[in-house]
Amino acid sequence: MKMKSNNAVLKEIFKELSKYFESCGWKLESLGKYSLSMCQAPRSDVKHSLMIFESPLISDLHSERVVGISCGVDVFFPEVEAVIKQIIHPISEDMGDVSVRLNLNALTPPENLFAKSLHLIPYQDEAFSKALTQFIKDFDVYLEPIRYRMENSDIFLDEDYYPEKINHWTWDLRRLAYFFLHAKSFERDRLVKKMSKKLEVFLENVDDSKNVFFEDLDVLNKKKWARSALEVKKFIDHSAMLRK
């Protein structure tokens, strides 16, 4: 791959990756100049969207003849999101098509990434193939097992399971909505009580730097967790009348 332009290299990257992911059951949605989109619908109540795109490089790498790419999978549970919208966002017209987002860079060991955020793909043939193989391996090892568990919405029945690198309160909100839809009333009430106790402890100590919920979180993510906890509280409070 000698003296190819950046666009030509990206085209080759997306061509190879689309071929690989199609062999794994993904369907092509769009292939653009800077991104590749694919999708899967394992069940009628679950949709997965895969996005691979060029990431801006730090300026001093532009002369190194490499392309930086990032990847993520959006997981969408339509029925679950509809319940959340009904109970806590009834005025909102559009909440988007994402329940949780799995980012490959967050799941991949830092030593496999450049600046902890992207995979570098060199232009040269041998290095190109090696880097692309590593990208696919990282996806299959670190992201795919989590995505695979989300092919069925009954994953929410496992009350001890939280996907790696996902805000626990964001996941708990979806779990509550799933139980609201599918569980028997006594199971739903039991989960609500369990979540209420957990919320009480969390919100009482939300400003405590030693809060066990905040282990290994930076300041920005602490704020996100706190906001998500309030969404869970709102869901419990607003759904109380519907549960009667």
At 209, is the secondary structure helix, strand, or coil?
coil
Q: Per-residue pLDDT tens for 38-52?
A: 999 999 889 999 999
Q: Per-residue pLDDT tens for 7-17?
A: 888 999 999 99
Q: How many angstroms separate the CA atoms of 155 and 196, rounded? A: 21
Of 10, 132, 135, 130, which Cα lies nearest the Cα of 65?
A: 10
CA atoms within 13 A on the CB side of 33: 3
Q: What average pLDDT is seen over the chain?
A: 87
Q: Per-residue pLDDT tens for 169-214?
A: 999 999 999 999 999 999 999 999 999 998 988 887 766 555 555 5
Domain residue limits, the chain? 6-149, 167-243
Q: What is the pTM of this model?
A: 0.87
Q: pLDDT at residue 1 above 50?
A: no
User: Do 96 and 104 meet the contact criterion of CB atoms below 8 Å apart?
Assistant: no
CA atoms within 13 A on the CB side of 40: 20
What's the distance, CA 215 to chain centroid? Answer: 20
Share of the chain above pLDDT 90, in %: 63
Q: How many angstroms separate the CA atoms of 221 and 230, rounded? A: 14
